[in-house]
């Protein structure tokens, strides 16, 4: 029980400080889990990051579940996930409850008018930096996908499944070629 | 049955939520703005702005906020739980069998096929925020919006902390519009 509480408390602390999404928490986890607690080593952590990125869901939760499981099995995974979720659940719930009452305030409204284009910029920025590292054909695919979802109203789920299917088909064709 | 709808919608978002927060945006948008109509595009942008300034993954933040907007405190707990269930189950199985999955050619193939799609999904999220269907929800209302956008994009490329960018834009917003 003490083990589980320690796992919960460690991830709770990480959860409180993970501003700005999953990747921001990586240095925090490294410090707490590898250096101070020594729950997993550097190599396992690198593998964990690769796995966490290729499975669905927020990287923060994926990482917590993996480390919690390694430490104390399924119960440990549960404690770690709960620790990561509770801080953001409580903070957002408080904001949601009080936001409606202050939303019409002229200062709050003006602040949000300023923040909206900034939010768009924070999303466009990563697209530009991602595009620098990928092949031209993939940039064209990305553009078509963007238009398909935004303009033609395709469901992102089906486009994602189609992408995975094409990737699998290419792998299957390549491995058959390798055999012949 | 609003609780069931919330649960199923966020289960779907959790299950297909590959590629991190920004790629999940278009998935969440499609589900809660376009197909369910639970919130407007403007409200969605506000939630993204709030998420940038508060701790925690955007998927969790949006689940909590929208769950509350749609069905109160239980709604927020149900949506938040639902978005976590798929990744909990998938990650737990991967943690148990990861040595067998690691380096699997087909898994890598599927991931390679999804990569450009994920960049496209982020693009769609940006386009939807820039040009939403209803004009009341527009993120860009005048020339100042484009100035803020340009400056923030430059700051983002220069790797300035996103929280700082959001806080600065809020201050500029008050200075211009209040």
Give the whole-angstrom CA distance, residue A58 versus residue A56.
7
φ/ψ bin of A33: left (φ > 0), alpha (ψ from -120 to 50), beta (otherwise): alpha
Contact state of B60 with A59 under an 8 Å Cβ cutoff? no
What is residue A20's predicted lDDT score, i.e. its pLDDT?
58
Q: Do A92 and B65 touch (CB under 8 A)?
A: yes
- Please give the Cα distance from B102 to A49 (Å, whole number): 12
The domain ranges of chain B are 2-134, 140-178
* CA B178 – CA B164 distance, rounded (Å): 21
More confident residue, B151 or A21: B151
Cα B98 to Cα A1, A32, A53, distances in angstroms: 27, 23, 13
- Residue A97 CA: distances (Å) to CA of A41, B32, B41, B76: 41, 19, 20, 11
**Distance, CA of A104 to CA of A87 (rounded, Å):** 27
Q: Decide if A1 touches B, using CB distance below 8 A.
A: no
Helix (H, G, I), strand (E, B) or coil at B57: coil
Q: Report pLDDT for A24.
A: 63
Identity of the residue in A113, A120, A127 whose CB atom sits nearest the CB atom of B141? A113
What gap in Å lies between CA A117 and CA A122, rounded to an integer? 9
- pLDDT tens series, chain B, 178 aa: 899 999 999 999 999 988 777 788 889 988 998 889 999 888 888 888 888 778 888 888 989 999 999 999 999 999 999 999 999 998 888 887 765 666 678 878 888 888 888 888 888 888 888 887 666 677 888 899 999 999 999 998 998 888 888 899 999 999 999 8
Min Cα separation A167/chain B (Å): 4
Give the B window 19-48 contacts with A, CB below 8 Å. Answer: 19-22, 24-27, 30, 34, 42, 45-46, 48
Nearest chain A residue to B119, by CA? A142
Using CA atoms, how far apart are residues B103 and A54, in angstroms rounded to an integer?
A: 11
Angle (CA) B26-B168-B150 rounded to 5° is 60
Instruction: Say whether B174 and A144 touch across the interface (CB within 8 A).
Output: no
**For position B55, what pLDDT does the model report?**
81
**Spatial distance between the Cα atoms of A159 and A154, rounded to a whole number of angstroms:** 7
Interface of B with A in 103-132 (CB under 8 A): 105-131
- Cβ of A146 within 8 Å of Cβ of B68? The answer is no
Strands (E) located in B1-74: none
Q: pLDDT tens across B63-100, in order?
A: 999 999 999 999 999 999 999 999 999 888 888 776 56
Check if the beta carbon of residue A12 is closer than 8 Å to that of residue A83.
yes
The beta-carbon neighbor of A58 closest among B60, B127, B176 is: B60
What is the predicted pLDDT for the residue at B171? 96
Assess contact for B10 and B82: CB atoms under 8 A.
yes
10 Å Cβ neighbour count for A6?
Answer: 17
% of chain A beyond a pLDDT of 90: 33
| A173 burial type by CB count under 10 A (0-12 exposed, 13-18 middle, 19+ buried) | exposed
- Max CA distance (Å), chain A: 70
Neighbouring C-beta atoms of residue A94, cutoff 10 Å: 11
DSSP state of A25: G
- What are A105-137's pLDDT values in tens digits? 999 989 989 998 998 898 888 888 777 777 888
CA distance B80 to B73: 11
Instruction: Judge whether B137 and B143 are in contact, CB under 8 Å.
Output: no
CB A115 within 8 A of CB B53: no
Number of Cβ pairs < 8 A linking chain A and chain B? 364
Choose from A21-25, A87-91, A123-127, A129-133 the range with maximum mean pLDDT: A87-91
Residue B98: per-residue pLDDT: 64
What integer pLDDT is reported at residue A89 of this predicted model? 93
- Rounded to whole angstroms, the Cα distance separating A138 from B113 reads 9
A32-46 pLDDT, tens digit each? 888 888 888 888 887
Is residue A22's pLDDT more than 70?
no
Is B120 in Cβ contact with A143 (below 8 Å)? yes
CB of A26 within 8 Å of a chain B CB? The answer is no
* C-alpha angle B161-A56-A4 in degrees, rounded to nearest 5: 85
Tokens of B132: 């939403």
The conformation of residue B132, written as its DSSP 8-state character, comes to -
Q: Provide ipTM, 2 decimals.
A: 0.82
Which chain A residues in 67-126 lie under 8 Å from chain B, judged by CB atoms?
Answer: 69-70, 74, 77-78, 81, 84-85, 87-89, 91-93, 95-97, 99, 106-107, 109-126
Chain A CA closest to residue B73: A93
Give how far Cα B5 sits from Cα of B28, B79, B86, Å: 14, 9, 16
Question: Could you tell me the pLDDT band of residue A68, with boundaries at 50, 70 and 90?
Answer: very high
pTM for the whole structure: 0.84
């Amino acid at each position: 029980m003490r083990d589980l509480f320690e796992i919960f408390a460690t991830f709770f602390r990480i959860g409180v400080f993970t501003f700005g999404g999953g990747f921001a928490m990586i240095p925090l986890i490294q410090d707490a889990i590898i250096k101070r607690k020594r729950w997993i080593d550097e190599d396992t952590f690198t593998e964990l990051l690769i796995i966490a990125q290729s499975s669905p869901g927020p990287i923060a939760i994926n990482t917590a579940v993996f480390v919690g499981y390694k430490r104390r099995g399924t119960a440990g995974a549960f404690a770690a996930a709960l620790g990561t979720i509770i801080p953001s659940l409580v903070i957002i719930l408080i904001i949601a409850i009080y936001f409606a009452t202050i939303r019409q305030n002229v200062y709050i409204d003006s602040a949000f008018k300023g923040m909206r284009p900034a939010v768009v910029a924070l999303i466009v920025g990563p697209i530009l930096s991602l595009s620098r590292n990928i092949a031209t054909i993939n940039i064209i695919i990305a553009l078509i996908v963007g238009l398909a979802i935004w303009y033609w109203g395709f469901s992102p789920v089906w486009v994602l499944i189609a992408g995975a299917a094409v990737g699998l088909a290419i792998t299957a064709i390549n491995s058959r070629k390798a055999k012949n | 049955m609003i609780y069931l709808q919330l649960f199923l919608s966020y289960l779907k978002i959790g299950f297909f939520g590959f590629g991190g927060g920004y790629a999940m945006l278009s998935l969440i948008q499609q589900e809660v703005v376009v197909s369910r109509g639970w919130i407007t595009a403007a409200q969605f942008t506000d939630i993204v702005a709030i998420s940038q300034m508060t701790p925690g993954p955007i998927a969790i933040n949006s689940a909590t906020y929208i769950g509350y907007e749609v069905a109160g405190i239980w709604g927020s707990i149900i949506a938040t739980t639902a978005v976590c269930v798929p990744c909990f189950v998938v990650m737990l199985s991967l943690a148990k069998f990861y040595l067998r999955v690691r380096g699997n050619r087909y898994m890598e193939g599927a991931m390679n096929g999804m990569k450009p799609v994920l960049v496209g999904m982020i693009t769609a999220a940006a386009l939807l925020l820039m040009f939403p269907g209803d004009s009341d929800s527009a993120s860009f209302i005048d020339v100042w919006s484009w100035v803020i956008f340009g400056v923030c994009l430059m700051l983002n490329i220069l790797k300035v902390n996103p929280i700082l960018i959001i806080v600065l834009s809020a201050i500029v917003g008050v200075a211009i519009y209040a």
